[in-house]
Structure 1
Amino acid sequence: MKATDILVQCLENEGVEYIFGIMGKETLDLVDSLSRSKQIQFVNTRHEQGAAFMADVYARLSHKAGVCTSTLGPGATNLLTGIASATLDFSPVVAIIGQVGFERQHKESHQYLDLVKIFEPAVKWSIQIKDSLTLAEIVHKAFRTAKMEKPGAVIVELPENLAAQEISNDAITITPTPTFMSVDEEIIAAIAKINNSQRPFIIIGNGVIRAEAVTEVQTFINFLQAPVIHSMKAKGILPKDHPFNYFTFGFSQQDEVLLGIEMADLLIVIGYDFVERLPKEWNKKKVPVIHINAVSAEPDEYYPLQSELVGDLKRVMQALIELEINPKPWEPSGNLREQIKQVFHLNGGADSSLSITSILHAIEKRTCENTIVLSDVGSHKNSIAQTYQPKKPNKVIISNGLASMGIAIPGAIGAKLACPADPVICITGDGGALMNFAEIETAVRLGLVFVMIVLNDSKLKLEEQMMLKKLGNNHGTAFGNPDFVQLAKSFGIRGERPVSIQEFEEILDKALAQNELTLIEIKLENE
């Protein structure tokens, strides 16, 4: 068998279902081997960045590693943004990249770049296969490395001269990813500190979702009865109407919930990723911290550790709730929860205009608990993080590590392949939409159905706001746009442009009921 046949066997052994990417001369053998796989579907995309975004979102929702591929040179560098995004959002992705043969790597050569070095700062592990007999070992290590906490991206570079080599090698037996947890003494000491506090405040991050520890964390919260806030990516762990839910934090402006943190005497930080926002920006009063996470903390003066529980979050939380937890019911002064609800527009009601707020209320009201909402990056991202309240965890997908524009449309493809029975709605600005708009053809070819909402204001609104605030002008933030409805129709899909919130609701209802790939353009010139 040739090396790429063995590679495909290894991928099958790891449970891979889809590989997203664009082929090139250096990966022809890989795609040929994939054509004979009864398990893996090769999804040929329109851009390598889109392929990486698809793998990233697929991984977040499926709890498996996403896989993408590209050829060398520009194909690989196109992949880099999506790969870096996966790493900073702790999404397990394995990228298989073609490369020139060994005979060309020591000299100036067409399309040759040292990809292992280029990708090193953006991944957990970057490796070139130098001996085809090590292929199975490297692939298995790549998947284990990508999935171990904290997850991230790995690249495996396959030189062209090795791809077609005839070898005899077996895929390595898959073993469970190892887990560990803190010792009993540390857990008992942490409970003692919690029980001795008067105003504990709980901060939960996406690590809780990655560890599938939502039930255990909910039980802990109900025992402790203290206020709780979520990072952007942890939304949905507590339902909207839960009395201890103080919603989302991590905003540069209108982050009212920080007042609650300042009133606390102990922060219990569970599964939080610093890449979302550093403690310096939300713990200005240096409130003592109990750190509960899969990896050790990076303590500084704004993250003063009182106790540290490191290990598998599900097991750690199970151990905590087996001990006696003294309830600590308290409410931050100033009716803070109601104040946050007003600022975040959580009460619904009055807004009858066609605005991002009314759109989010309509989506929240009209969709089922399994609906997946993907946010692109732009001014609307903060609105979604603040206002939209999912009914379940891991149902709002936000790029918040690298915060990369262009993720929404390819991400919706990855989401629909990971969760084919769940409705998917992606919300993007006009800037982010046109970065990967071509992937609509990929969705049509695959027969996928979801709703795309394009917010069109013909500008980079967030950058305009920052420019005006800092420099008093908005130079370079405006641009022109095509007719998105006609553009959608040119791909053979439905395009709509509502002029009122009532019309939007009717179009959304119809799109969800008829199970039809639909683009809805929202003009926001006057918002």
Structure 2
Amino acid sequence: MKATHVLVRCLENEGVDYIFGIVGKETLDLVDSISKSKQIQFVNTRHEQGAAFMADVYARLSKKAGVCTSTLGPGATNLLTGIASATLDHSPVIALVGQAGHDRQHKESHQYLDIIGIFEPATKWSIQIKDSQTIAEVIHKAFRTAKMEKPGAVIIELPENLASQMIPDNAMTVTPLPIYRPESEAIQAAIQRINNSQKPFIIIGNGVVREEAAKEVQAFIDRLQAPVTHSMKAKGILPRSHPLNYFTFGFNEQDEVLRGMEESDLLIVIGFDFVEHLPKEWNKKKVPIIHINAVPAESDEYYPIHSELIGNVKQTLQAINDFEIEAKSWIPSGNLRGQMIQAYHIYEESASALSITSLLHSIEKLTSENTIVISDVGSHKVSIARTYQPKRPEKLIISNGFASMGIAIPGSIGAKLACPADPVVCITGDGGALMNFAEIETAARLGLSFVIIVLHDSKLKLEEQMMMKKLANNYGTAFGNPDFVQLAKSFGIRGVRPANVHEFENMLTEALTKNELTLIEILLENE
């Protein structure tokens, strides 16, 4: 059997349904083999970066590894941003990259670069297949590596001369990843430390959502009765009305909850990744830590570990909840929660003018609990992280590890393919939107329906704010824009532009009801 046929058989064996990418000379055999699969659909995208973003968000929501592909040289380097984003946001992604044949890799050659060397710092594992007989082993290891905690990206490079070789069909048996739990003695020691504390504070991170441990965390919170804060990647664990919900933390400025955390005598940190926010920024007083995570903590002066519970977060919390836990029922001083509600605009205020806050409240009000909101990167991401309250975990997708602009539109395609029955709302600034705007054609070609909200202010607002604060000057942040409504229509999709909140709500409701691909342009020049 041809080597790429075997490779595709291995991908089918791993449960792959979609491969995102652009075909090139060095991947002709691979794409031809994909075309013969009855299971895998090849989604030909308009840019390799978009393909990697699609694979990333698809992986987060489907609980499978996302797969993308490109040819050598510029095709491969175009993947790099999306691959790095997947690794730092701990999303399992496999990148299949074509490469020049072995006969020309030892000398200067057309489009040839050491792609493995380039990608190695941005992946969990980078490998070139040197012997086609090893394809099955490499694919199997790649998927296990990508999905093991903490998940991330893997790149596999297939030289052109190996692609059409004839090899045996030897796909390997897929077995579940092992599940680890901490020792009972370690759990008992942690429980004793918790029971001896007076003012514990719970911090929830991305790992809780990733390992589907929301119910177990909720049960732990209800028993301990201690205040809780979460990273922007872990929103939706508690409803906004929950009296212990102290909302989001992890901001460079105006991180309101830090005052409450500084009052505590113990921080219980569950599923938190350092990439979400370094401890130096939120534990300046070096409060003792109970670390509950799939992997050991990194060494950090501002992360003083008292107890470390390493293993599957869901099963670790199940074990903790079997023990007697003393309720603490303490409240941070100064009506902190009330102040955060006001500062973060948690509840809707009467407004007719279009603003980030009014849009977010309208989206909360008009969408169902299974609606997926995807935020691009920019000043609006901070507003979304503070204000927007999803009704369930993993219904707000934010790029925060690599924080790359341009993820929202292609990410919405990945989200819709992963969760076809769930409404998807994409929120992007005009800067991020035009980075991968061409993927609207991909969405339209696939017949997908979601809502794209483009915030139009003709500038990089976050950079403008930072420059004014640091230098009292602003330069290089402004740009021009097309007419986004007309641009949307040129792609064959609906484009509208509301003048006020009432019109926006009518347009959003209509788009969600009609289930069609719609772009809503929001003019924010005078906000």
Q: TM-score range by the shorter chain?
A: over 0.9
Counterpart-to-counterpart distance in 2, 1:12 and 1:300 = 42
Match in the other structure for 2:209:
209
Residues 356-505 of structure 1 mapped to structure 2, 5 A cutoff: 356-505=356-505
Task: State how 1:279-358 maps to structure 2 within 5 Å.
Answer: 279-358=279-358
Paired AA for residue 411 in structure 1? G
Partner residue in 1 for 2:249: 249
What SS class does the counterpart of residue 327 from structure 2 fall into? Answer: coil
Instruction: Report the CA distance between 1:335 and its aligned residue.
Output: 0.4
Distance 1:503 1:366 in 2: 13
Other-structure match for 1:262: 262
Q: How does 1:155-304 map to 2 (within 5 A)?
A: 155-304=155-304
**Structure 2 residues not aligned, in runs of 5+:** none
Distance in 2 between residues matched to 1:432 and 1:281, nearest whole Å: 27
- 1: CA distance, partners of 2:350 / 2:255: 23
Kindly indicate whether the alpha-carbon contact (under 8 Å) linking 1:254 and 1:343 is maintained by their aligned counterparts in 2. Answer: no
Structure-2 separation of matches of 1:130 and 1:525 = 55
Q: Deviations over 1:82-133 (max 9, x none)?
A: 0000000000000000000000000010000011110000000000000001
What secondary structure, in the 3-state scheme, does the structure 1 residue paired with 2:275 have? Answer: coil
Whether the 8 Å contact between 2:347 and 2:361 is mirrored in structure 1 is no
| 8 A Cα contact 2:50 2:407, kept in partner | yes
Residue type matched to 1:104 in 2? R
Q: Does 252-261 or 12-21 show the bigger shift?
A: 252-261
**In 2, distance between residues paired with 1:179 and 1:473?**
53
1:169 Cα deviation from its structure 2 partner: 3.0
Q: Give the Cα–Cα distance (whole angstroms) in 1 for the partners of residues 285 and 81 of structure 2.
A: 36
Quote the offset at 1:347 in angstroms: 1.7
Name the CA distance, whole Å, in 2 between partners of 1:316 and 1:514.
Answer: 44
Task: For 2:175, give the aligned amino acid.
Answer: T
Decide whether the 8 Å contact of 1:133 with 1:169 is kept in 2.
Answer: no
Please give the alpha-carbon distance, in whole angstroms, between the structure 2 residues aligned to 1:228 and 1:354: 32
SS of the residue aligned with 1:173? coil
Does the CA-based 8 Å contact 2:351-2:501 persist in structure 1?
A: no
- % identical aligned pairs: 76
Distance in structure 2 (CA, Å) of the matches to 1:265 and 1:256: 18
Letter in 2 for 1:175: T
Match of 1:41 in 2: 41
Matches of 2:293 and 2:427, distance apart in 1: 31
Q: Scaled by the length of structure 2, what TM-score is found?
A: 1.00
- TM-score, structure 1 as length reference: 1.00
CA distance, structure 2, for counterparts of residue 266 and residue 162 of structure 1: 56
- The one-letter amino acid paired with 1:169 is D
The count of residues paired between Structure 1 and Structure 2 equals: 527
The alignment status of 1:137 with 2:144, answered yes or no, reads: no
Structure 2: distance between partners of 1:365 and 1:97: 44
Structure 1 residue 97 corresponds to structure 2 residue 97: yes
**Structure 1 contact 89–152 (Cα < 8 Å) conserved:** yes
- Superposition map of 1:117-136 within 5 A: 117-136=117-136
The 2-side partners of 1:241 and 1:365 are apart by 15
Aligned-residue CA RMSD in angstroms? 0.6
Could you tell which deviates more after superposition, 172-181 or 8-17?
172-181
SS of 2:276's partner is: coil
Q: Look up the equivalent residue of 1:22 and give its one-letter code.
A: I
Tell me by how many angstroms 1:432 deviates: 0.1
Give the Å deviation of 1:351. Answer: 3.0
SS of corresponding position for 1:426 = strand
Matched, 1:514 2:495: no
Retained in 2: the 8 A contact 1:378–1:429? yes
* C-alpha distance after superposition, 1:195-243 (max 9, x if no partner): 0000000000010111111111111111001000010000001111111
Letter in 2 for 1:342: Q
Structure 1 equivalent of residue 525 of structure 2: 525
Aligned to 1:368, the other structure's residue is in SS state: coil
Are the equivalent residues in 2 in contact too, given 1:371–1:424 (CA < 8 A)?
A: yes
The SS at the match of 1:275 is: helix
Distance 2:59 2:453 in 1: 23
Determine the C-alpha separation between the residues in 2 that align with 1:297 and 1:353.
46
Q: Is the 8 A contact 1:236 1:392 kept in 2?
A: yes
Secondary structure of the 1:268 match is strand
Instruction: For residue 473 of structure 1, report the CA deviation from its aligned partner.
Output: 1.2
Q: Which residue of 1 aligns with 2:71?
A: 71
Q: Tell me what 2:31 maps to.
A: 31
